[in-house]
Chain A
Amino acid sequence: MVGFLIQRLLQAAVVMVVISAMVFVGVFAIGNPIDVLISPDVTQQIRLDTIKAYGLDQPLWRQYLTFITRLVQGNFGRSFVFNMPVLDLILSRLPATLELTLAAVLGAALIGVPLGMFAGYRPDSIAAKLLMGLSVLGFSVPTFWIGLILILVFAVNLGWLPAGGRGATVSVLGVEWSFLTLEGLKHLLLPALTLSLFRLALMIRLARAGMREAILSDYVKFARAQGLSEAKVIWGHVLKNISIPIVTVFGLEFGATLAFAVVTETIFSWPGLGKLIIDSIQSLDRPVMVAYLMLVAFLFIMINFVVDIAYAALDPRLRAGRA
């Protein structure tokens, strides 16, 4: 296990170095932030001074070296636009995105997996067919459209829920959370629902496929032959067996939603990371872009790591090669 951890850590370090170089070059190619940062009518001297102050006069490889050296010291640099440390900026936006993502993906899993299991258990029932039809909708309708319709119905026409923003937040350990207040929850509901519909459809399909396969297997027949109740057969035997693909997709979707909830955050003016990255691309705020993309890569590495550990916990056969 310790060997496995060390191996994974080394892998992660290599991946992060490669990603940082790719991101740095990629962001460099997008455009020169100087044109955005300085108004065109300042003197040539001020212009040169500013370029020098941001280190933009250096060749790319030197800028990268400076960046990496500072990074190793835990310094991501300062945002050109917000003029504050990038790390602080990102950490101040992360909780909003985190709670939105958690609500959407966890909600989709907690509702979708039981529904999918039911649909796989009674595939010929009307409810199961209805669920399958709805899940096709969940796959094919674009997220932004769902968001707009939800706003139109629940915020504009019915006036039950707010159309945007985070609402009141409560500070826990210095971090602001919406889900702890009723008003915050109301604000959270529509964007979380928008984000979750696709994931819900995915979870339903996955759980249904797993259930249909499991229900025909010998171990389920054998469990029934022992006189186990259907509840014990399903929750005691089947669930753990079908959870590996579910956990995999959960991890991937969690990472993807966390990193790319941009559209939904924009529609609902949710002050999260997605909005921050869109703003910083528009203003060519390089340090923010670089740090954000690296954070995303880091999150994916962490999520995959946790998923691998979950595999080992779920399936003993995967533990063997790891001792």
Chain B
Amino acid sequence: MTQPVLEVAGLATHFFTREGVVKAVDGVDLSVARGKVLGLVGESGSGKTVTGFSLMGLIDPPGKIVAGSVKLAGRELVGLSPDAMRQVRGRQIAMIFQDPMMTLNPVLRIGTQIAMALRAHETLSNAEARRRVAAALGRVGIPSPEERLDAYPHQFSGGMRQRVAIAIALINRPDLIIADEPTTALDVTIQGQILSEMQKLCRERETALIWITHDLSVVAGLADAVCVMYAGRIVEKGDVRAVLERPLHPYTIGLIGSIPSHNRRGVPLRQIPGMTPSLLRLPAGCPFRTRCPRADAACVNDIPPQIIDGREVRCVHVNAMSAA
């Protein structure tokens, strides 16, 4: 394995709300190598977006990164000055959001918005900026890009807008792109096109990619490695084939079991029983134990991640299971 471009260790981001401390991200470790894709999956509210924003240094009060380190190409980002962090954003780490209808400013021309992203990090002439912006649009598959520079977002379809967002993310050639469910709002054919194009573009430029999603089939097709998140922690992490084909953590098993295509027709879908626990009142020990079929007295203690079968798992019962 090559040296990872991003190394996150013990990252904890808490929100200090009136009701109490929300531990949205609580001790996350992950790493991505150049040109590789890491899938970050987990149910709604598990802390995927907060993890992404923490890496970008975009956590607003009352949120705060309370512990951990984020190293990008060997440089520590936690604790950087606001201006130094601003220079990292967009140029070294870029992010794409879920809803392309909302991420572009409705009152500014497409070309103007892309040029602003470019000029945040470089000084260039108008002609040069225009040329680079058109080239960026062309690269993400927008036909006759020169003519589209003066268009406004509402003149573009959702898929085209997401392409524009991708063009913006790519334009400064970042080392890492965090894509937060960027295809969820799009229909399946457009989703497929965008997935394969992102994959191609990132591979060409050796850009590392963190792909946040609910959709395990997307992860299966796109990612090299996968992290499964639950209640602010990573419960299972490893090579994508291994995790999806032989899940070890009871939560991962439940997640894969609840995908419709994995069940035979007529048989009721399996679900994970219960609800996501409130992050304000997490039970001690394993956060999944209140919903876990294997939970027992041993789950009350904190479990460090252990390496089993070539991956990291956070469950006391996995040892016995994999041995069996």
Is B88 touching A227 in the complex (CB atoms < 8 A)? yes
Name the one of A225, A237, A240 contacting B56, with C-beta atoms under 8 angstroms.
A225
Return the chain A residue nearest B83 by Cβ: A229
Q: Could you give 12 example pairs across A and B, Cβ below 8 Å? A: A219-B103, A221-B58, A221-B97, A222-B95, A222-B165, A223-B116, A227-B121, A228-B86, A232-B120, A236-B116, A314-B107, A316-B152
| Whole-angstrom CA separation of A217 from B154 in the bound complex | 17
Interface centre among A217, A219, A241 (most CB of B within 10 A): A219
Contact among B90, B106, B165, B168 for A317, CB-based, below 8 A: B106
A223 to B58, Cβ gap below 8 A?
A: no
Closest-CB distance, B51 to chain A (whole angstroms): 14
In the complex, chain A residues whose CB is within 8 Å of the CB of B56:
225
| Candidates B102, B116, B152; contact of A228 at CB < 8 Å | B116
Report which A residues bind B (CB closer than 8 A).
217-219, 221-229, 232, 236-237, 240-241, 314-317, 320
- Chain A residue contacts of B227, Cβ below 8 A: none
Interface: B249 (CB within 8 A)? no
How many Å lie between the Cα of A173 and that of B180 in the bound state?
Answer: 62
For A228, what are the chain B residues with a Cβ–Cβ distance below 8 Å?
86, 90, 116-117, 120
Q: Is the CB of A227 within 8 A of B86?
A: yes
Chain A contacts for B89, CB-based, 8 A: 224-227
Given the known inter-chain contacts A316-B152, A317-B154, please indicate yes or no for A225 contacting B58, CB distance below 8 A: yes
Residues of chain B touching chain A, judged by Cβ–Cβ distance below 8 Å, are 56, 58, 86-91, 94-95, 97, 99, 102-109, 116-117, 120-121, 152, 154, 165, 168, 172
Determine whether the beta carbon of A316 is less than 8 Å from that of B90.
no
> Known pairs A218-B99, A222-B104, A232-B116. 12 more at Cβ < 8 A?
A218-B102, A221-B58, A225-B94, A227-B88, A228-B120, A229-B86, A237-B105, A315-B107, A316-B109, A316-B152, A316-B154, A317-B106
Closest chain-A Cβ to B262's Cβ sits at a distance in Å of 33
Contact present for A222 and B97 (CB under 8 Å): yes
> Which residue of B102, B106, B116 contacts A226 across the interface (Cβ within 8 Å)?
B116
Main SS of chain A's interface residues?
A: helix
Q: How many whole Å from A210's CB to the nearest CB in chain B? A: 12
* In contact, A226 and B120 (Cβ under 8 angstroms): yes
Residues of B within 8 A of A225 (CB): 56, 58, 89-90, 94-95
Q: Is the CB of B120 within 8 A of A229?
A: yes
Taking a contact as CB atoms under 8 Å apart, the answer to whether A217 and B152 are in contact is no
CB-nearest residue of chain B to A237 = B105
Decide: A227 near B165, CB < 8 A? Known: A221-B97, A237-B108: no
Report the nearest A residue to B101, measured CB to CB.
Answer: A218
B281 to chain A, nearest CB (A): 26
Smallest Cβ-Cβ distance to A241: which chain B residue: B107
Q: Name the B residues within 8 Å of A316 (CB-CB).
A: 106-107, 109, 152, 154
Q: Inside 8 A of A229's CB, which chain B residues have their CB?
A: 86, 120
- Do residues A217 and B116 form an inter-chain contact, with CB atoms below 8 A? no
Q: With A and B bound together, what is the CA distance between A317 and B154 in angstroms?
A: 7
Q: In the complex, what residues of A have CB within 8 A of residue B116's CB?
A: 223, 226, 228, 232, 236
* CB neighbours of B109 from chain A (8 A): 316
Instruction: Give every chain A residue within 8 A of B105 (Cβ-Cβ).
Output: 219, 223, 237, 241
Residues of B within 8 A of A237 (CB): 105, 108
B90 and A227 form a contact (CB under 8 A): yes
Q: Do A227 and B87 touch (CB < 8 A)?
A: yes
A229–B117 Cα gap in the complex (Å)? 10
Q: Which of B88, B95, B120 has the most CB of A within 10 A?
A: B120
Least CB distance, B123 to chain A, in whole angstroms? 14
B58 x A224 contact (CB < 8 A): yes
Contact check: which of A222, A232, A314 meets B103 at CB < 8 Å? Answer: A222
Residue in B closest to A216 when the chains form the complex, CB atoms: B60
